[in-house]
Structure 1
């Protein structure tokens, strides 16, 4: 029985086991077939999953910037403005996927890297030639893909996994073109990440195969293996579900990052008017600290948010009717009650029943744009009103729509009204039919079509003359002065015209033609040259024309043309102007050109050209005026203005530098007084010597700017040259010979010797640089007398006696063009780093400050000569040597107001050292306050330039409290004292920076002891 039972059990187990083994074999065989197929398709499916992830990321970025691109397509904003808005949005789109940090990059079609969050040093650089390790041009491939497939395309290349780690791996990138702004955006993933996922899946497959093999080899464990296999499947399902949940969380985090970091406001709201959610950008637009605060506060947007409640109704109606709105502009209240303009793009989201669940969309702050538009509208309205008030006859034409717009003065000119014409707008055909003679209508239409072309419109503004038929039948002549407005691509959008009634002028012209003989008599005796040109030759010229060009009438008429007497450099311009008048493109023209007289002299002429009816043909004619002297004077005026502008800059720099020098010189002087060590005293003397050189440099800058109060004394020109001769010989090289020729008798001028020294040093330096191979430097002095004839010939020089200082060299010289610019600030012909371009400008400034004149003569290869004219002193004596002042102290109280801390502390320390009590003030207001508190102040020392209140205003305020208060003003230069700072309308004690301690103490003692001068 037991054996039968065992046999039955065994028999009953054999069949299932055999069946299990057969099924296991079939399963393993099928599994191997499926595994082989799955292995073949595994890489493709995994890569497809990652590809879709890249597409989703770039699509989200593309959708966020779509409103801005739409504005570019509509022409509302330009490409540069769009890029300025898009770049920060794209830069903010960094995210983390399951492989770590990732980002969205952006580049232009010409290779400029616009956005690279993790390699910011590459931004705004040209990466066009960037290659990978296999020689592929990365940026070029990305640009090609974006151009050929702007909807999206994949590109493979090799790149570093991290900017600082040179581990090159294959990268798969997905890019989308942005043709509206000539750029593309994209993101990518390294293929090693895909391969790692594939390896993990293959590993799992191997594990399953091992278990199946064990099942096949150990049939007795089938049941356990089945259970184990079922448990494993459950575990795999759990892990798969966990991975899916993790991927979902990562995806949600990525899009949450985009949502939170977007610069565009994003919102959700209910149809009833409650804000359901929003990103930080939206809360910032509305003035709330956080989105949560905004959601809690905004429960009824119609009442709380919309400045115009009706806008909410229109917004909701549009969403309910068409399901979306784009570019909806409205005004919102911010949290603090201020208003902000916004552009809203939104859509209605419906539930499963088709009812609107909520609204969602983006909000852009357009307050600045609205302000600009309002300013433009106001400007246009003011212009229109001004034109109406001035009764300017005006029209404009919109070329794309071919609509003319007129104003009331135009209708008045035409003898009609806006009511009669049915409004201010009409088509081109209506205008021509109502107001133009039939024979002029084709010409008018050709003019409009001609001005459409950019190459023709480039010559506008231009005159257009035509006739007008008034409503009463009278025909009037009109002259329209036109200008154009272009679009972004250069096309002509509008033509504006101001119309002038020239009927009387036309009548006068006809009368002038009829009285030709009378006209000829006037022309022949005119001081203006007249001419007529036909077929390239002069057909008529008057007497004055012949005198200007130096030819006789017979030598000109029918023998010479305009180009024969024109300077070669101006022939193209003259020929073009003659062609325009000959072709009828311009009836009247004005320009300047150079002519070569018969004697070879070049003179400047001004032409006022027109066309004249001559022998039945309209030909070029006009008048000429010799403007050679006028050109010379204009050039001198322009040069003077340039010098004045740069001089102002130099003066400001020197003024600030004087504050620094005051502290440097003052403290060094105090150190010298307090020190007994001879070695250290020598060091201090070196500091003071260097400081004095810096002071001289500042004085040079101020002399250049003509803002330095120069120290004028009678001085001999010869003595100045003798004193500087030794230094000049050291200044030049050994191969340069210095020759000095002095006037027999001393010539006394009133001058600042330091400034005249500066002139000699600068000119000697220039001469040395002009003679690199050696040569001769000549310096000469002599007395000259300038006359009216000299001034008429040269264009400068007040008549009188002058000391002439000539400095010549035998160097390389310069041409005329270079010589004309020699005195311009910062102009230099030297190499970079070998010249500042201020040497001759400084000389020019010093000469002008001494009421003198300077001229230059030079020829290439023949050297250069500078001639400086300085007025001779009238009745000047010799300056006596002054004994060093005796420095005295005192016990008085002095208020010092100085905004520069170093200068303020120095002055107070010097005064305290000599027994004075000081009260410090950091600015004007502080000075007034401290004076009120101190009460017993004997003297004010005030900086003329301080924040808030200048020195004069401080003095005026304190003088109200105590009229007899004494004052000393200080400044870095004197011009602000007498002109700019309002101190020049009284007689004041003044110290110029840098201030030496002994000078300060002497002036303080002088003012405190002077009872007659309180300010």
Structure 2
């Protein structure tokens, strides 16, 4: 054949890729049967190179006919297109990879043109309840609660894109079944100079987070209000005499203008009458760990003496060393003989955090081998380039040492659990550790479920983590202070239903707290005292401070006398 001096069969065996022989054979048969003297046809097939590699060629086939119109020869012009084919295959693989990431990412991703959906991934369909066909070509207005919100988001994101090149806003979408979702919507134009080409957008569902934040905020407000509006003094001091915490009632009863003013007082040097020494107070707490109903004389800022009934408890560290005295006191100066005793409520604190732009990434899983394959360009917000991220050891070198085991164990279980969310610390390019919310899904290979791909998303939650840690510490301080008080603190709603009662209430009512909560306090009042108690309760509802004595009846019919101090 040609200058190779080979038969067609030998030529095909020597150069043609085995699976492509039929392509050439079929095309040659067509050429031989062609009736058109100007017959020309082009085909592509693979060849075996002398170095053993596979190449691609483009072949143009021509025919030579005799006077009777019979094909007597076929000619072929070969062109090596291996380089172009390799580029074409690589582009196709990259496109398939990006489409796979787009479809499987746990964060909602899509494309809009003039606020009309042109592309959405499975995640958006999942949390909106719509099929892809129901969204594509439709205005995003269909997902907004009302036109006002739709217009507001459009105006705000347009301004952000104009100023910063990207936009992000917290808003609400409504699902197909009418459920309201809280979301963070982030948009980036495909061409900053021509918005008509469309914008890519990501959607993060933060409904659960917002519900938790609202509950935390309401809880914080409730317990801070209880603490700050208490009618009895609440404090925390150290054995060295330093005042660490005092509520407004304590500051007011001792005649100080502010807590900062009062905190200058050194209880080791002043604050007690000679008849009652600080040393005795400390010795009793050291010996018994608790003091209940101790009456003593204290000195106010102006030098006046007030008599108080005090209860306190020693708080110890893990080495059994006293670090705090938590206590309460009430001013009994005006009613010492009647032994009035004020009671108060509890204070708690909680707090929370926020999200930033989502980073999407892909990891190839081959047995125990994990190889980063793709990451969004916005990884630069952590200071890294995409090339750095694709280094196999990059993640392990930058995750916080204390978080490696926890996170690594979850990743090893990902094949079984398919999806999880984990939070851990990660070092940015500047060497600072940032808290990251990492959500992953595992997509198993169809042929071998051990292998597959991890699609994940990162969110920087450092600010929220900082706030949470501070609030948890503050809440624990308030909670520990309140729950270690020896007086009983309770909270009623405007119908007299018990909303909260501190642990010491179990001793008074001879009931566990769970059996007291959500019951009317009137159910425990001695029948002959019920009318007077109701009058006093109405005075409290009307805005007054009421101190009163009454009897309660226990479940064994035992009657106890109690004194309460209440205010709205």
Point out the structure with the larger helix share. Answer: 1
Higher relative contact order (CA 8 A, sep 6+): 2
TM > 0.5? no
Which one has a bigger Cα radius of gyration?
1
Q: TM-score band (shorter)? A: 0.3 to 0.5
More strand by share: 2
Q: What is the TM-score of this pair, normalised by structure 2?
A: 0.33
How does the TM-score come out when normalised to structure 1?
0.20
